[in-house]
Structure 1
């Protein structure tokens, strides 16, 4: 397992801490690490197949994002999933998402457009096979490229944990048709960014948040 991880890092250029973070974040989003449960560092090293240092760095980042809570002498708590918080997250996310979408349409370069198209294609593949996990991975890539294309690291850092929390709530609250609706909203936003239409991109960002609000209790 560890050797496989080293090989993966060599291929992707990610550090072990980044890879551990990505794995643990995915498990939190998809509720494989159950909300409110308590885990220990040893369990997380077993899950990821990595050493204590990269796992510890990943846990610290996830704790800063509000997805974990480090409890000295008692373990690491996975953040509870309080459904009433979803609306608060979306209210906070909407403003920064509009800024990112607008600036990505203004400043996005050819490389960003290529990666956005790849994310869009990955979402389409996920929709065709009704693969929620693959869709969430593509959504994470989209969010990352969105922040890079906007050339606004302050907004990107603010948006990143909100986007992760949103994916977690979406996974929990999705219903029949949610995958297709979310895919359509993302495609419209990506198309507006690639077209270099800042105002339209901002509006599509709001429409994406509006779609998510339909799932909030």
Structure 2
């Protein structure tokens, strides 16, 4: 039995819908219906409804009574705002992860780094996004700070969506390099180094966001 099958159905539904939104399979501004998503995922009404409520709270879709589910539009200038909101909490998480990283989290970081490098070699952007999500999950586990994690998680998802929209053609190798550098500092228990790498990653993403806003 794989690890995904052990997850609660609501978490499976959330991950599947989040991935569809991030990769623009559910396109910005489009209207979906709860019934269509239930049929597509095959996970039942209750878990899909829970996932929809969570995604609405995170600002990735809007529930419109009697009209359906509106997938949030992408406005390039908002990517800058996402990164500005994300920067401080990512530094907190990175520093905390370097201090408290467990063996389980270390294995997850290692797997995420390998998956990112393989995604770069194969040019598989969606595989990279999956690895990036795995990295964020490892960071949440290692940091042992659920308050910071709850702030960071929706910002990370929004950022992935913007990155996929604006940077997937050219940003794969550079983004992977910065993530692997951050993982290295965390696994070496270097708090200052991890904080600095998190700052560098946010600076890189902000430069991409600024470029997107100017197009």
TM-score, shorter chain, exceeding 0.5: yes
TM-score, scaled to structure 2: 0.95
TM-score normalised over the length of structure 1: 0.94
Partners of 1:25 and 1:139 lie apart in 2 by 13
For the pair 1:125 / 2:118, whether they are aligned, the reply is yes
In the aligned structure 2, how far is the partner of 1:26 from the partner of 1:96? 23
List runs of 5+ in structure 2 lacking aligned partners: none
Report the 3-state secondary structure (helix = DSSP H, G, I; strand = E; otherwise coil) of the residue aligned with 1:76.
strand
- TM-superposition CA deviations, 1:101-151 (whole Å, max 9, x none): 000000111111111000000111111100000000010010011011000
Shift of 1:12: 3.7
**What SS does the corresponding residue of 1:84 show, helix, strand or coil?**
helix
Partner of residue 204 from structure 1, selected from 193, 197, 201 = 197
Q: Which runs of 4+ in 1 moved over 2 A?
A: none
Instruction: Work out whether 1:18 is the aligned partner of 2:8.
Output: no
What secondary structure is seen at the aligned counterpart in 1 of 2:70? Answer: strand
Distance of 2:22 and 2:47 partners within structure 1: 20
Corresponding residue number in structure 1 for 2:88: 95
Q: Does 2:24 match 1:28?
A: no
Give the count of matched residue pairs.
210
Alignment partner, residue 78 of structure 2: 85
Instruction: Report matched runs for 1:1-217 at 5 Å.
Output: 12-174=5-167, 176-216=169-209, 217=213
SS in 1 for 2:139: helix
Q: Which runs of 5+ in 1 are unaligned?
A: 1-6
Return the offset for 1:210.
1.1
| Aligned counterparts of 2:11 and 2:168: Cα–Cα separation in 1 | 31
Query: For the Cα contact (< 8 Å) 2:129–2:160, is it kept in 1?
Result: yes
